[in-house]
Amino acid sequence: MTQLGGLFFITILSLPYLILIWHIPQAHLPSWSEAQPVLLKTLWQAFLSATGSLFFGAWGALGLLKISGKRREIFKFIFMLPNFLPSIFVVLSVLNFFQPFPYGVAGIVIVHVLINVGLVAFILSDSFENQLGGVVELAMIEGASRFQILLQGVLPMLKRDLFLCFITVFSLCFSSFAIPLILGGPSASTFEILIYQKIKIMAQWSEALSLSALQSLVLIGLTLFIRQNRPIIDYKWRDFSALGSKTGFLIPLFISALLLTGPLLGLPAGVRQIQNLPVLWDMFSDQILGSLVVGIGSGLLCLGMLIFLALFYPSLRIRKILVSYVAPSTALVGFSLLLMPEIENVFFKIILGFGLIIFPLIYRLRWYSVLDALAPQVEMGALLGAGPFLIFSKILYPQCFKIACRLAGLCAFWATGDFAISSIVADRDISVALVIQGLIGSYRIESASVLIWPMLLCGGLCYLFFIGLGYVGSQKSVS
Amino acid sequence: MSEVKNLYLKYDNFTISIPKLELLDQGVTALCGPNGSGKTTVVRALLGLEKATGMEWVFKGEDLARLKPADRKIGVVFQGLELFPHMSARQNVMFAASARNISKTEAEGKLKELSNLLNVDHFLDQSVSVLSGGEKQRTALMRALIGSPRMLFLDEPFSALDKHLRTEARKLIKSIVAKHNIPALLVTHDDDDLKELASKVIYLDNGRVQTT
């Protein structure tokens, strides 16, 4: 039953591929002369993004080592904020700050670095805490300088962690779609955009399918690298201050502040612009409602998928397959949904598409470790003679429903900011994010800077809805 | 005496190879050996958690190896105890009763009997997350026993206890095995456990039975 449930789930996640293979029996690779420059550009931008993020992120991680106790955790949270913001918010922030903005590969790299510096600082500071142990303290007692500790201790000990961190950011940037879509300029700047153009402009579906399959293979290969983790030993209590950098934490802190406050810059001019666009306000209530529907719907779908996985509690092998699973390209998912005339409702299409893309990330982010941690209890429940439903209702649900709701809330928050899937599937501006994308496209950055706040509010409300649901649901499980 | 035959398991760099193993159907059979000798793997195979193709385990005329893990009806206390942390001690035990489809009245009767035997009354309604090591262990024992198992498996159950509590726990196990007349398989590498509890000792090294 659990195997069947897991396989059914993997089939659902692979739905876009199955639809496309059904409709397009033959897949052709595009000519090498066409694919090569885009592939090189994608690799180049991903390499530069990962290198930049690693450099500044490592510096940020050293900065975190100077801060101790709870303050370090608070700073880690602040550093991670750009990763949790919807892409459109980040794009708008940088467009407000950098004027004129360097559209193209340079622009994409800048935004990728800004987003991922905090993530790298977070991951590496964990690596420092978990892997270095007492070496830093010992080196400090022996009288080694910071430079010596870094060069002869940290680099050799953490070269694998640094490499994995590089690969993580590289794969994120390699498959990035939303940012290149807005900031990439007119020519295809990444593989994802080439897939998008192959379908939307050239109607070459078979080439798009083979490109997406190729991209997924590369990403699966990279994911296999990332999963090979060492056991974690918590050395947080050790004194790492000898290694820390006083200035390191300033860079990610500045980036978080920049990305969080960017749209405020355009706000005064934006308000004046918007006042001259009364038509925008007239339709705005519909778009607010649209954003809420997309957000709540995506969150509910995500919650359903998480609960389904808990109910059918897949075997370790299926759990490992799921954690290595890479979602198909955003463009491919969007266009595969267009090939399903049976689904008429545009909101349903967006919710389904967004769910299929975001779920693997949500699973990898937390759900995998939640299910893994509960494995001994599930095993014990089964040994005691409990069936799957009793195990779910008495062991899994009470312990993981709240976490599932939090993850669904995060999914809902991101969904309200989605414009990638929405712009492919929807034939009009059905959500605030789509209006904002339209305004950015026509260089009305200031107007977009006004509308981004209601969008963020919608996301916040959706998030709170799921937090509330988690609270109510967990109370019910207690009673 | 129950007889296990053809217990073979192969991993990347480790093999369990036990052509024959005899477990007592009264008293305590101890399975001992150094770390990494395969003791826990043997226990997991007997429980049905590791697939040992071709294994037979004839217990009172029935081949348990053909049954699903739950149908083997073995009470087990793992080294980590694996109590459900969001439940109270009572809820942990009652979960096992409901998993075995024991009626509520019968389960409550058994719970009362076991709680008297194990002296757990004073913490029965506390969350297991706040219990001491010894209290947790007694809860795990109660949970293992409430389903009236045909055998009790104890996988290094004393490893988390201090010296004083270990002595107490050994006495407790001894009295339970005697009072309920339930055979037990004890995994240990502690000589005191062997002296105090074991009626028979099986020594395992590198996945093979050395002496019994």
- Residue B169: predicted pLDDT: 82
Q: Does position B8 have pLDDT exceeding 70, yes or no?
A: yes
Mean pLDDT of B97-105: 91
Of the ranges A45-54, A425-434, B19-28, the best mean pLDDT one:
A45-54
Q: How confident is the model at residue B55 (pLDDT cuts 50, 70, 90)?
A: very high
Query: Domain for residue A306, yes or no?
Result: yes
Residues of chain B contacting A385 with CB distance shorter than 8 Å: 70-71, 73, 96, 99-101, 147
B127 or A341: which leads in pLDDT: B127
Strands B184-188 and B151-155: parallel
Asked if A258 and A186 sit in the same domain, the reply is yes
Q: Does position B187 have pLDDT exceeding 80, yes or no?
A: yes
Q: Does A2 touch chain B (CB under 8 A)?
A: no
Q: Does position B159 have pLDDT exceeding 70, yes or no?
A: yes
Torsion of CA A429, A434, A439, A445, to 10 degrees: 160
Q: Does B150 touch chain A (CB under 8 A)?
A: no
CB contact under 8 A, A394 and B95: yes
Residues of chain A contacting B73 with CB distance shorter than 8 Å: 385
How far away is chain A from the Cα of B83, in angstroms, using its nearest Cα? Answer: 7
Asked if A178 and A272 sit in the same domain, the reply is no
Residues of chain A contacting B76 with CB distance shorter than 8 Å: 380, 383
- Residue A477: predicted pLDDT: 64
Query: Domain for residue A338, yes or no?
Result: yes
- Residue B210: predicted pLDDT: 85
* Residue of chain A nearest B147, judged by CA positions: A384
* Residue of chain A nearest B100, judged by CA positions: A385
Residues of chain A contacting B145 with CB distance shorter than 8 Å: none
Tell me which H or E stretch contains A410.
helix A397-416
Q: Does position A38 have pLDDT exceeding 90, yes or no?
A: no
Asked if A140 and A260 sit in the same domain, the reply is yes
Residue A41: CATH number of its domain: 1.10.3720.10
Q: Which of B86, B87, B147 sits opposite A384 (nearest CB)?
A: B147
Q: Does position A229 have pLDDT exceeding 60, yes or no?
A: no
| Cα B68 off chain centre by | 17
Lowest mean pLDDT among A243-252, A414-423, B22-31, B69-78: A243-252
The domain boundary, picked from A219, A237, A265, lies at: A265
Mean pLDDT of A344-354: 91
- pLDDT for B167-181, tens place per residue? 888 888 888 888 888
How far away is chain A from the Cα of B100, in angstroms, using its nearest Cα? Answer: 6
CB contact under 8 A, B99 and A376: no
| Cα B207 off chain centre by | 20
Q: How confident is the model at residue A206 (pLDDT cuts 50, 70, 90)?
A: confident
Q: Does B96 touch chain A (CB under 8 A)?
A: yes
* Residue of chain A nearest B91, judged by CA positions: A394
Asked if A288 and A257 sit in the same domain, the reply is no
Q: How confident is the model at residue A288 (pLDDT cuts 50, 70, 90)?
A: very high
Residues of chain B contacting A473 with CB distance shorter than 8 Å: none
- Residue B181: predicted pLDDT: 85
Q: How confident is the model at residue A461 (pLDDT cuts 50, 70, 90)?
A: very high
CB contact under 8 A, A382 and B86: no
The domain boundary, picked from A238, A265, A292, lies at: A265
A128 vs A240: CA distance, rounded Å: 8
Query: Domain for residue A24, yes or no?
Result: no
- Does residue A181 contact residue A196 with C-beta atoms inside 8 Å? yes
Reference A361, options A298, A446, A296, A454; nearest CA is: A298
Q: Does A73 touch chain B (CB under 8 A)?
A: no
A260 vs B146: CA distance, rounded Å: 57
Mean pLDDT of A137-145: 74
- pLDDT for A246-274, tens place per residue? 888 888 899 999 988 888 888 888 888 87
How far away is chain B from the Cα of A383, in angstroms, using its nearest Cα? Answer: 5
Asked if A11 and A45 sit in the same domain, the reply is no
Q: How confident is the model at residue A53 (pLDDT cuts 50, 70, 90)?
A: very high
A132 or A158: which leads in pLDDT: A158
Asked if A163 and A225 sit in the same domain, the reply is yes
Residues of chain A contacting B71 with CB distance shorter than 8 Å: 385
Q: Tell me the average pLDDT of chain B.
A: 88
Q: Does position A469 have pLDDT exceeding 90, yes or no?
A: yes
Mean pLDDT of A463-476: 91
Query: Domain for residue A456, yes or no?
Result: yes
Query: Domain for residue A478, yes or no?
Result: yes
A476, two tokens: 């019910």
Q: How confident is the model at residue A478 (pLDDT cuts 50, 70, 90)?
A: low
Q: How confident is the model at residue B14 (pLDDT cuts 50, 70, 90)?
A: confident
CB contact under 8 A, B70 and A385: yes
- b/e code A154-177 from CB counts within 10 Å (16+ = b): beebbeebbebbbbbbbbbbbbbb
- Residue A133: predicted pLDDT: 64
A110 vs A53: CA distance, rounded Å: 10
B202 or A199: which leads in pLDDT: B202
Query: Domain for residue A69, yes or no?
Result: yes
Lowest mean pLDDT among A228-237, A243-252, A271-280, B161-170: A228-237
CB contact under 8 A, B95 and A381: yes
* Residue of chain A nearest B68, judged by CA positions: A383
- pLDDT for A3-29, tens place per residue? 777 788 888 888 888 887 888 777 677
Residues of chain B contacting A377 with CB distance shorter than 8 Å: 82, 84
Mean pLDDT of A442-460: 91
Query: Domain for residue A459, yes or no?
Result: yes
Q: Does position A378 have pLDDT exceeding 90, yes or no?
A: yes
Complex ipTM: 0.84
- Residue A411: predicted pLDDT: 95
The Cα angle at residue A345 between residues A343 and A349, in degrees rounded to 5: 70
- Residue A194: predicted pLDDT: 86
- Residue A279: predicted pLDDT: 66
A24 vs A12: CA distance, rounded Å: 19
A76 vs A297: CA distance, rounded Å: 30
Q: Which of B49, B98, B147 sits opposite A390 (nearest CB)?
A: B98
* Cα dihedral across residues A222, A224, A230, A234: positive or negative: positive
A194 or A68: which leads in pLDDT: A194
Single pTM value for the model? 0.83
- Residue A405: predicted pLDDT: 96
CB contact under 8 A, A384 and B85: no
The domain boundary, picked from A233, A265, A297, lies at: A265
Q: How confident is the model at residue A239 (pLDDT cuts 50, 70, 90)?
A: low
How does DSSP assign A264-333, residue by residue?
HHTHHHHHHHHHT-HHHHHTHHHHHHHHHHHHHHHHHHHHHHHHHHHHT---HHHHHHHHH--PPPHHHH
Asked if A214 and A154 sit in the same domain, the reply is yes
Of chain A, the end-to-end C-alpha distance in Å amounts to 29
Reference B158, options B177, B172, B148, B146; nearest CA is: B172
Q: Does A186 touch chain B (CB under 8 A)?
A: no
Q: How confident is the model at residue A152 (pLDDT cuts 50, 70, 90)?
A: confident
Report the share of chain A in percent with pLDDT over 90. Answer: 30
Residues of chain B contacting A317 with CB distance shorter than 8 Å: none
The Cα angle at residue B82 between residues B88 and B43, in degrees rounded to 5: 145
Asked if A442 and A314 sit in the same domain, the reply is yes
- Residue B134: predicted pLDDT: 86
Domain extent, residue A272, equals: 1-18+267-479
Query: Domain for residue A200, yes or no?
Result: yes
Q: How confident is the model at residue B74 (pLDDT cuts 50, 70, 90)?
A: very high
Asked if A345 and A223 sit in the same domain, the reply is no
How far away is chain B from the Cα of A311, in angstroms, using its nearest Cα? Answer: 16
A199 or A358: which leads in pLDDT: A358
Question: Which of B51, B73, B86 is the best substitution to test chain A (most A C-beta atoms within 10 A)?
Answer: B86
Question: Which of B88, B94, B95, B139 is the best substitution to test chain A (most A C-beta atoms within 10 A)?
Answer: B95
Give how many domains chain A has, as a whole number.
Answer: 2
Q: Does position A240 have pLDDT exceeding 80, yes or no?
A: no
Mean pLDDT of A171-193: 82
Asked if A10 and A35 sit in the same domain, the reply is no
Q: Tell me the average pLDDT of chain A.
A: 85
Mean pLDDT of B72-100: 91
Q: How confident is the model at residue B143 (pLDDT cuts 50, 70, 90)?
A: very high
Q: How confident is the model at residue A188 (pLDDT cuts 50, 70, 90)?
A: low
Q: How confident is the model at residue B131 (pLDDT cuts 50, 70, 90)?
A: very high
Asked if A343 and A469 sit in the same domain, the reply is yes
Asked if A276 and A250 sit in the same domain, the reply is no
Question: Which of B49, B82, B155 is the best substitution to test chain A (most A C-beta atoms within 10 A)?
Answer: B82
Q: Does position A56 have pLDDT exceeding 90, yes or no?
A: yes
Judged by DSSP in three states, B151 sits in: strand
- A453: which DSSP letter? H
